[in-house]
Chains A and B, each alone.
Chain A
Amino acid sequence: MDPQPRIGVYICHCGVNIAATVDVKAVAEFAATLPGVTVARDYLYMCSDPGQRLIQEDIKAHNLNRVVVASCSPRMHEPTFRGAGEQAGLNPYLVEMANIREQCAWVHSDRGLATDKAKWLVASVVAKAARLEPLEAREVGVTPEALVIGGGVAGMTAALDIAEAGFPVYLVERSDHLGGRVADLNRIFPTLERVADLLGPLTERVQSHPNITVLLNTEVTQVEGYVGNFEVTVRGVEEPLGVGALVIATGYDVFNPRRKPELGYGQYPNVITSLEMEHRLAAAEESGPEVLAVNGRLPKKVAFIQCVGSRDVQLGHPYCSRVCCMYTAKQSRLVRELLPEAEVTVFYMDVRTFAKGAEEFYDEARKKRVLYRRGMVSEIYRRGERVILAGEDTLLGRPFDFEADLVVLAVGMEPRADAAELSSLLKLPRSSDGFFLEIHPKMRPVDTAVDGVFLAGCCQGPKDIPDTIAQAKAAASSALIPLLRGTVPAESATAVVDVEMCAGCGMCVEVCPYGAADLDALWNVSRINPVLCKGCGACAATCPSKAIRLQHFTPDQVLAQVDALLG
């Protein structure tokens, strides 16, 4: 290791993401004046191939021994730039990032102030970089098994793909059967196939697969470990299950329309949910349309109300549930077929038919003379045997009173009531709507903040069956990556003891959550097992003799960052 730091600093424009707010040229010029900096440049996209090549060529041409990239969050591209450095022969831990996008350009609008802040952030990281030490990359083995939580369509699909790839899978389901919410349905849009015909074979394949262990009537109570080596405690199973990856497919709750008492659900027999309608339609197929009777009479006027519990800011459900428009089109069509005399009206805000074949299906419903009326119903009350829907027609701008015999509330989806429990069990963040949070809404919709834990289906947000299955297959293939590789990178930035300084007080042994610290019986000094150490730094902060250093975050490095920030 050269004693003299020779630092290359690279300021990324990120297109206009950074450059629009931060004067990147000025930051690069400033960086060139910092102690230890040999070369400082700005470039349109540092993470692009030419951007990375620029760094690699500089490492060789200028004999750089440290690299600082000022761009996005290290949580985004640290592996990219560490990899680029490594390819050019630089130890990956000698590459450090300054976050001038998420924590500067995107949160400030004043160009002068943002540029100023970016300069100090770069100065701070350059100061740390000058004191960086090379660390050895380490890998640990992977338990080549997976666990899927939730036995619905998402969970079954994910389990099946992992099992087909040749790895054992545990499928944990809280209820006494597989199938999830889909098992509650009768026919699906847009093909009108019977759910039983589709779900039956899928369930059969899962149950009979030699690589899948189905655990019904139970739940996950504890999750320890990390990607590659999770220990999952399942109630009723004696030993914790060792697995390398987890797929979360816990689904959703159906919105309970009693939370909108003005719609009279539970009060009038005329008002039912779409799920109850699904059951009645199933029964009608068996025993005729009589099961649709309300108060002993077949309905002459049937109304469907969409967006019940969806797109409702007051309820805290600002999102669209994505399936209600289509299942309402399906149910209204089936009612028209079963009761050709009945008038069927759908009240809607907007009709959203984005799935494949959905728009065509909706057209078909209207051809079968399902009436669509744009307007929201604000209240339902009783008049004799019927109910009155009071609302506003938003095309005519006029209030209406609409008489109906049967009203179907198209209830939406919401996060499961127990989502918070699982969230704290797995330390899995949730978005503001309460569904589990993917790392990036566009680019990484299946990954979570917890490495080795992947999302499938409606636990991440409302979606229909094809989207659920697509995500489940994506989650399965992501989960297969560590299983197939057989190793995962282990923490290199572990704590180390200076035995000359250690007084053997044992406080590190007490604070270590992983049992990595131990007192050497002969010398009475602390020893830290690098395999068990996760690099949290609790021991280093606790050690009264300052004999323990957390590598890559040493007091020397951190305090240099502080000094540099002060300018």
Chain B
Amino acid sequence: MAEKFEPKIVAFLCNWCTYTGADLAGTSRIQYPPNVRIIRLMCSGSVDPTYVLKPLLDGVDGVLVGGCHPGDCHYQSGNYKARRRIIALKEIIKNAGFDEERVWLRWISASEGQRFAETVTKMTEFLREKGPNPMRQKWAV
């Protein structure tokens, strides 16, 4: 690893709030690191546990799940479901000997382009500090 480590982040964003917030960051031309790759889902409540676990096992450095603020879910309560699921998932990740700090759940509304950009910037810096996901090397033959 001669090059500077650049983390890879996969982001699962809900269509109605955080994905739209990320669009607003774009229309407002707010710059943030290119380390994040966004996958659009309809709701944070549809984030299956495997969506978080698979990237981590495959060596992704961080997983960001973005949903609407509590009370603002387009589907009434999907974000609460996401919150419970991520809490449980983090517990499992920790007990399995992985680093649960690589999974972030954040509420970012459609009007919070700035907050989206800040979240990605912070997460990128945090993961740069933390270093690569050890699963990367383990799977490399």
Interface residues in chain A, defined as those with a beta carbon under 8 Å from any beta carbon in chain B = 73-75, 99, 101-104, 106-110, 113-114, 116-117, 120-121, 124, 424, 427, 429-432, 437, 440, 449, 493, 511, 513, 534-538, 540-542, 550, 553, 555, 558-559, 561-563, 565-566
Contact = CB atoms under 8 A, between A and B. Distances in A.
Interface in B41-60: 41-43, 45-51, 54-55, 58-60
A559 B43 CA distance: 16
B81 A538 contact: yes
Which 6 residue pairs spanning A and B have beta carbons closest together?
A537-B46, A102-B26, A536-B75, A429-B111, A106-B26, A513-B76
A107 B47 contact: no
A462 B69 CA distance: 27
B34 A553 contact: no
Given A107-B32, A536-B42, A566 B8 contact: yes
A562 B39 contact: yes
B109 A429 contact: yes
Grouping DSSP codes into helix (H, G, I), strand (E, B) and loop, the A interface class, with mixed when no group exceeds half, is helix
B117 interface: yes
Given A74-B40, A565-B37, A565-B39, 16 more contacts: A75-B23, A101-B26, A103-B38, A108-B31, A108-B34, A117-B37, A121-B37, A437-B111, A493-B42, A534-B75, A535-B42, A537-B46, A538-B81, A540-B48, A553-B42, A559-B51
Name the residue in B40, B47, B78 with the highest tally of chain A Cβ atoms < 10 Å from its Cβ: B40
Nearest to A432: B111
Interface of B: 8, 10, 15-16, 19-20, 22-23, 25-27, 29-32, 34, 37-43, 45-51, 54-55, 58-60, 68, 71-72, 74-78, 81, 85, 109-111, 114, 117
Given A103-B22, A107-B25, A555-B50, A537 B42 contact: yes
A106 B34 CA distance: 11
A91 B115 CA distance: 37
Contacts of A437: 110-111
B138 to A, nearest CB: 15
A558 B41 contact: yes
Contacts of B75: 513, 534, 536, 538
A511 B82 CA distance: 12
Contact of A541 (B46, B55, B60): B46
A124 B42 contact: no
